[in-house]
């Protein structure tokens, strides 16, 4: 017994010496097992950004559970910019210099993205990395990349630039036109009211986009579909009191209201006041923000009955509902830029695999420009056509004809909120149930 114990101790000693001095057939940790660090700079508790952060965290967990990227784990870092430009720039500095992130997303506010862009350019030489503007539409985010490619090649915007929104607006106006492919037969409106969120991103829509040969959205509605714009007004993002506007809309004779909004606008307040206003029987369409999620029904106390809204928690592609189910199980409301944020992590993963790692940033950027990923909202890939604003953005609309969507790219989903908060899909055509459309008045009558 003592002899066996001695033999065991001897073998243990030999093993310890082997480990200490590197002798014998010892398996060393594989090269490149250090984590790949990515992250997000944004308002950590904001209603528009926290879901993006949560969705990216979910993607990172999935990737790590499947073995990481090229066998390396992914570490996710969040820097809270609190919605302020200076704090966001400080967050970028910590993200890149402190955490050594090789890829980060920044919240979709153009002014914050522009400041982050300048900091990224400043830091890039010593700390090579990629910046992804998550949800910002301002053309200036990527406008200068074409002419300053060597200096700005690391700047991407994985979202639709402002001119590309014309393709989505065309879909909205087409819903009430019998000649449009996405027409909703029961939705008949020739007179429209346009409420533009009074922020920088809607200036092109209100004033026209001359470099792309585009007029105003008021003109688009008239020229493409013969609609009459009887009321058009920029409105404060947090108006609070919508009743005077709704009263004016009702007096204008409008048959449809198009609220060109993002998650900054208090569309839940607008909707509650619309339902009790003289405009309540006028079809309301909400372009963006919290109305895209099925939580909107509860947020409005059921006042959203009859609203048409951009929606990403209804079928948009063949794969998005699996993502929606996972997100909702975690309490993540899915707006469009939330799905984009999730897809962006997987596009980065695809690029790293194509580049063979993250050591050669030029090679990684080239891969990011050329790979594609079949994501939640369709095929995600980078636009390389050298048209300002579109270059280095996500492929969505045709850069040479911005009123036309690129097939299989990110489109716009539309649904109508019906009884008990059921979102009935109206677009895209593959999943549309336009025969189930009811006017707000019909839905209210049925609910009594």
Residues 184, 158, single domain; the answer is no
Q: Is residue 78 a part of any domain in this protein?
A: yes
Q: Is residue 239 a part of any domain in this protein?
A: yes
The pLDDT tens digits for 336-383 are 999 999 999 999 999 999 999 999 999 999 999 999 999 999 999 999
Q: Is residue 10 a part of any domain in this protein?
A: no
Residues 88, 213, single domain; the answer is no
Residues 313, 283, single domain; the answer is yes
Residues 124, 182, single domain; the answer is no
User: Model confidence at 411, in pLDDT bands (50, 70, 90)?
Assistant: confident
Residues 146, 192, single domain; the answer is no
The whole-number pLDDT of residue 26 equals 25
Q: Which long-range contacts (CB under 8 A, 24 or more apart) does 270-276 make?
A: 270/239, 270/242, 271/296, 271/300, 271/303, 271/304, 271/307, 272/300, 272/301, 272/303, 273/241, 273/242, 273/243, 273/246, 274/242, 274/246, 274/303, 275/300, 275/303, 275/304, 275/305, 276/303
Query: Are the beta carbons of 385 and 159 closer than 8 angstroms?
Result: no
Residues 62, 154, single domain; the answer is yes
| Higher pLDDT pick, 29 / 73 | 73
Residues 45, 153, single domain; the answer is yes
- Of 295, 294, 293, 254, the closest CA to residue 274 belongs to 254
The pLDDT tens digits for 237-255 are 888 999 999 999 999 999 9
Residues 197, 134, single domain; the answer is no
Residues 181, 131, single domain; the answer is no
The pLDDT tens digits for 285-324 are 999 889 999 999 999 999 999 999 999 999 999 999 999 9
Residues 299, 438, single domain; the answer is yes
Q: Is residue 20 a part of any domain in this protein?
A: no
Q: Is residue 322 a part of any domain in this protein?
A: no
The pLDDT tens digits for 48-103 are 899 999 999 999 999 999 999 999 999 999 999 999 999 999 999 999 999 999 99
* Distance from C-alpha of 222 to C-alpha of 227, rounded to nearest angstrom: 5
User: Model confidence at 448, in pLDDT bands (50, 70, 90)?
Assistant: confident
Q: Is residue 278 a part of any domain in this protein?
A: yes
Give, in order, the Cα–Cα distances in Å from 399 to each of 138, 160, 166, 402. Answer: 15, 11, 11, 5
Residues 381, 235, single domain; the answer is no
Q: Is residue 9 a part of any domain in this protein?
A: no
Report the CATH number that the domain containing residue 221 is assigned in CATH. Answer: 3.40.50.2300
Q: Which domain holds residue 190?
A: 175-317+413-447
Question: Positive or negative CA dihedral for 89, 95, 98, 101?
Answer: negative
* Distance from C-alpha of 220 to C-alpha of 95, rounded to nearest angstrom: 42
The whole-number pLDDT of residue 262 equals 87
Q: Is residue 234 a part of any domain in this protein?
A: yes
Residues 420, 395, single domain; the answer is no
How many other C-beta atoms can be found within 10 angstroms of the C-beta atom of residue 413?
27
Q: How many domains does the chain have?
A: 2
């Amino acid at each position: 017994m003592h002899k066996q114990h001695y033999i065991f101790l001897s073998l243990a000693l030999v093993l310890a010496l082997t480990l200490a001095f590197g002798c014998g057939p010892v398996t060393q940790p594989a090269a490149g097992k250090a984590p790949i660090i990515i992250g997000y700079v944004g308002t950590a508790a904001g209603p528009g950004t926290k879901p993006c952060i949560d969705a990216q965290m979910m993607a990172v967990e999935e990737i790590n559970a499947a073995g990481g990227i090229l066998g390396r784990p992914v570490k996710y870092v969040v820097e809270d910019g609190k919605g302020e430009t200076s704090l966001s720039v400080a967050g970028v500095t910590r993200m890149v210099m402190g955490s050594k992130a090789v890829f980060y997303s920044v919240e979709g506010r153009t002014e914050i993205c522009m400041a982050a862009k300048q900091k990224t350019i400043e830091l890039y030489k010593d700390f090579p990395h990629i910046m992804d503007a998550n949800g910002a539409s301002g053309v200036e985010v990527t406008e200068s990349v074409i002419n300053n490619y060597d200096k700005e090649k690391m700047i991407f915007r994985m979202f639709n630039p402002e001119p590309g929104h014309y393709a989505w607006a065309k879909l909205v106006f087409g819903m009430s036109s019998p000649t449009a492919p996405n027409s909703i037969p029961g939705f008949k409106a020739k007179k429209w009211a346009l409420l533009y969120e009074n922020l920088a991103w809607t200036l092109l829509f209100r004033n026209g986009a001359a470099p792309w040969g585009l007029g105003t959205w008021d003109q688009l509605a008239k020229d493409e579909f013969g609609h009459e714009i009887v009321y058009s007004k920029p409105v404060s993002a947090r108006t609070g009191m919508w009743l005077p506007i709704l009263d004016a809309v009702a007096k204008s004779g409008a048959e449809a209201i198009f609220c060109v909004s993002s998650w900054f606008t208090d569309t839940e307040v607008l909707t509650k006041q619309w339902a009790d206003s003289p405009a309540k029987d006028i079809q309301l369409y909400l372009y963006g923000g919290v109305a895209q999620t099925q939580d909107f029904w509860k947020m409005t106390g059921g006042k959203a009955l009859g609203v048409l809204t951009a929606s990403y928690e209804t079928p948009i592609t063949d794969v998005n509902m699996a993502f929606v189910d996972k997100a909702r199980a975690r309490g993540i409301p899915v707006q469009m830029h939330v799905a984009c944020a999730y897809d962006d992590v997987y596009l980065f993963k695809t690029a790293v695999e194509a580049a063979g790692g993250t050591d050669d940033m030029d090679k990684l950027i080239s891969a990011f420009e050329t790979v594609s990923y079949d994501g939640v909202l369709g095929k995600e890939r980078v636009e390389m056509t050298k048209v300002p604003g579109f270059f280095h953005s996500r492929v969505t609309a045709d850069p040479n004809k911005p009123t036309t969507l690129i097939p299989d790219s990110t489109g716009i989903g539309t649904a109508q909120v019906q009884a008990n908060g059921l979102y009935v899909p109206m677009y895209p055509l593959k999943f549309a149930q336009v025969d189930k459309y009811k006017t707000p008045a019909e839905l209210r009558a049925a609910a009594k």
